[in-house]
């Protein structure tokens, strides 16, 4: 019997910075934990990302490059989350409860209480120098949790 690959969905507001870093870092590190999990990311309000901002945050690209994580042509524009995205995930994590729980309650009320919330500030409240290491720490904690449950 073939077991489907479990998926974790990372959510942030624009799917431009925090969730994208979490997605790529998780996928890069999962093999170090001998996990078959795969991550993907989406945004709850991608319309707030200015068109001229480009497809992904330069802070995300820099942080990934500093960790030796290649993008391998995986630069894509932000993607708005759908009900299907939520339903396909085995675990859904929103990067900041105070910011994302109200958006989930408004757009996907059935999911607002089913999501795991972290407390990672966006660039309007914390610098990438503070938020990127916090995301990295949370990812390692999550991977350890998944590995111990395997």
The model's pLDDT over 135-147, given as tens digits with 9 standing for 90+, comes to 999 999 999 999 9
Per residue in 75-89, pLDDT (tens digit) is 899 999 999 999 999
Distance between CA atoms of residues 14 and 148, nearest Å? 32
Instruction: Give all domains of the chain, ordered by start, each with its CATH number.
Output: 7-149 (3.40.50.2300)
Question: What's the mean pLDDT in 95-122?
Answer: 97
Global confidence as pTM: 0.95
Q: Could you give the strand order of the β-sheet that contains 7-12, starting from the edge strand earlier in sequence?
A: 38-43, 7-12, 91-94, 116-117
Instruction: Kindly report, residue by residue over 56-78, the tens digit of the pLDDT.
Output: 999 999 999 999 998 877 789 99
Residue 71's pLDDT is 82
């Amino acid at each position: 019997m073939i077991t489907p690959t479990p998926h974790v969905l990372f959510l942030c507001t624009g799917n431009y910075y925090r969730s994208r870093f979490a997605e790529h870092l998780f996928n890069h590190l999962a093999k170090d934990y001998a996990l078959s999990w795969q991550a993907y990311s989406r945004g709850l309000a991608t319309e707030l990302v200015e068109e001229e901002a480009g497809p992904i945050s330069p802070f995300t690209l820099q942080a990934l490059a500093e960790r030796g994580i290649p993008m391998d042509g995986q630069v894509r524009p932000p993607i708005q989350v759908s009900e299907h995205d939520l339903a396909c995930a085995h675990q859904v994590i929103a990067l900041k409860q105070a910011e994302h729980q109200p958006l989930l309650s408004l757009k996907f009320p059935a999911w607002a209480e089913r999501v795991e919330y972290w407390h990672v500030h966006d660039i309007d409240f914390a610098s990438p120098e503070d938020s990127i290491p916090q995301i990295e720490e949370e990812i390692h904690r999550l991977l350890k949790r998944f590995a111990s449950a395997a």
